[in-house]
Amino acid sequence: MAKLINSLKAFVTFVTTTMWRMKDTEVSSGQYRRNYVLKVIYLSVQRYFANRVQIRAKALTYNTVFSLVPILALLFAMAKGFGFSNLMESLLRKGIPVGGDTMDTVMAFIDSYLEHTHSGVFVGVGLFILLWAIITLTGNIEQGFNQIWGVRKQRSYFRKVTDYFSMFLLLPVLLICLGGWSIFMSTVYEGLKDLYFLSAFVNFLFKLAPYVLSGLIFTGMFIFFPNTKVKFRHAIIPGLVTGFVFQAFFYFYINVQVNVSSYNAIYGSFAAIPLLLFFINVAWCIILFGVELTYVSQNIRQYNFSEDVDNVSQRFHDFSCLLMMSTICKRFQQGETPYTVSELSETCDIPYRLAEQTVGELENCGLIYTVGEPDAKADDIRYVPSTDIAHLTVGSLLKTLDTHGSEDFKVDCAQRFAHPWQALITSKQALYAADDTPLAEL
């Protein structure tokens, strides 16, 4: 028993501390993959609760319920234009997990909503509600994803309108294709019933298809919604995992709802409403956890040496500023493409988080500035020196770092504390003058 407890303690220490201090070059490829998976799972769960994702899921649940009828009306209007309204209704009845009476009520609302397209009412209030519901829901989804990714700037209103409505224009086509695929697979399965092995394989593909398609849809969401560059290779696995968990929960919810409706004939229809809210809330929790997985998968290196970065010494802080400023100046002197934070972290062999903090401090001190498009994403921002690199020396850099910020705390440095203040100034001045080597020559 004691050996088991000691092994458990050692594992906890490894997961929480040791593996975060391992560099990629220090471990084998197999150990790297194992550590990578452990890091992603551990950090995703930690961030899920630290970021209070459940509260964001509740807010999105409200937005989803509020926007459900207007958005479905838009989808039906576009499907009707293509002549696939009946197929769309069939797909919605199969795909939206509510009771039959509840779905009939929703369809009645949609039909009533669409009837106003023939009058002036829809052009006024109805159109405004439709646009507002779509922009609000998708904007809140983007905001939730951006918060997880640490992105402060959302899309402009023009980009919201163009991007979001392009997405909604593709949804009916996607649903129709899914419906056609389902019919095609059913037909193939019926034709191969006599061939046991082929029919079993087709049946397996038929059952696997919803999981794969859900995974691809969530992968697209994880890439599309955050206002930053999300790489496909980091989104595909979280997307497939999210799709699998979502589909599993979907089937669980269907069985629960059927049992509630069968056991309670009086309150079955009414019970579908809170059950629907429960389903949407849990679904958003699953989706947002998938976003956490995607973020952690792409940014796992930011958390290496995280405890050390939070407790970095003043000497190593100055060293990292000196090293990165020198690297930026050398690249500028050579006339090559400026570095991004990611490239600086790799070139200087400094943990990403420390590199990010250092670049932010150098920018705040006015030593560097960004180049590129104003709306460039974080991964595309590059940095160049803000002054003549011939005047950027080791001493001038240290002086700028030391003197940046406020010193006006009404402390009597002229008389009462003049001696310690002058002692500090004298030692600092000697340090600044000790080395006038240009940073580009280090």
Closest by Cα among 319, 343, 342 to 331? 343
Burial (0-12, 13-18, 19+ Cβ within 10 Å), 195:
exposed
**Cα–Cα distance between 360 and 369 in angstroms, integer?**
10
pLDDT for residue 32: 84
Domains delineated in the chain: 50-302 (no CATH), 306-441 (1.10.10.10)
- Cα–Cα distance between 160 and 167 in angstroms, integer? 10
**Is the CB of residue 342 less than 8 Å from the CB of residue 352?**
yes
pLDDT score for 80: 63
pLDDT means over runs of 10, the chain (442 residues): 81 83 80 87 90 88 79 66 59 54 60 57 57 78 86 73 69 60 60 59 70 85 86 92 88 70 54 76 92 90 80 91 93 90 88 88 91 64 88 89 86 86 87 81 80
**pLDDT, position 94:** 58
User: Per residue in 72-82, pLDDT tens?
Assistant: 766 666 666 55
> Are the C-beta atoms of residues 370 and 382 closer than 8 Å to each other?
yes
Cα separation, 294 vs 297, whole angstroms: 5
Which token pair is 158?
Answer: 């023009």
Task: Give the residue from 162, 191, 158 showing the smallest Cα distance to 375.
Answer: 158
Query: Which tens digit of pLDDT belongs to each residue from 383-434?
Result: 999 888 888 888 889 899 988 888 888 888 888 888 888 888 888 888 888 7
CA–CA separation, 64 vs 280, rounded Å?
8
- Measured between its terminal Cα atoms, the distance across the chain in Å is 57
Q: What is the pLDDT of residue 198?
A: 59
Determine contact, residues 114/79, Cβ cutoff 8 Å.
Answer: no
